[in-house]
């Protein structure tokens, strides 16, 4: 077998190793470290099983597809919707936890949007206020403050 790079996927062709798909997680002279990431049917699994295979034993492996690429469309969409919900929830909790910085950021955004009708302020100042307020909200909501 040609040399393997980190993130390549292989499947054992003999009985020396458990059936499944393995991801290359490390290489050095004379050996490759593999993490089992798929079952015998090619479905994603989280086993935590790590094996080190010498270069001589790599002949017992064949290239394989990444098991993350074979998820059904429905499962992929459901997972993305769920992740979006939890991301928005965490973002909202971060905003609620820091009311004063959030209030300052919201005021900047509002001044940027309605400031032209209230006071004669240059357009560039209003644009900067919207950008600064929006970035402030993103920074606060990400939990970095």
77-131 pLDDT, tens digit each: 888 899 999 999 999 999 999 999 999 999 999 999 988 877 788 899 999 999 9
Kind plus residue range of the DSSP H or E element containing 137: helix 123-141
Rounded Cα–Cα distance for residues 2 and 125 (Å): 59
Instruction: Provide the sign of the torsion angle of the four alpha carbons 26, 31, 37, 43, taken in this order.
Output: positive
pLDDT greater than 80 at residue 74: yes
Among residues 6, 20, 76, 83, the alpha carbon closest in space to that of 48 is found at 20
Residue percentage of the chain with pLDDT more than 70: 97
pTM: 0.53
Q: Are strands 9-12 and 50-54 parallel, antiparallel or unpaired?
A: unpaired
């Amino acid at each position: 077998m040609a040399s393997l790079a980190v993130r390549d996927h292989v499947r054992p062709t003999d009985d020396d190793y458990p059936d499944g798909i393995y991801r290359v997680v490390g290489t050095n002279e004379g050996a490759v470290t593999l993490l089992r990431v798929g079952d015998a049917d090619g479905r994603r699994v989280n086993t935590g099983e790590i094996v080190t295979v010498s270069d001589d034993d790599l002949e017992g492996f064949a290239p394989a597809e990444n098991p993350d690429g074979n998820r059904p469309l429905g499962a992929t969409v459901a997972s993305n919707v769920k992740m979006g919900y939890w991301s928005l929830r965490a973002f909202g909790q971060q905003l609620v936890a820091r009311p004063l910085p959030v209030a300052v950021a919201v005021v900047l955004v509002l001044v940027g949007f309605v400031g032209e009708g209230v006071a004669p302020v240059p357009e560039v100042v209003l644009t900067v206020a919207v950008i600064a307020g929006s970035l402030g909200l993103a920074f606060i909501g990400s939990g970095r403050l």
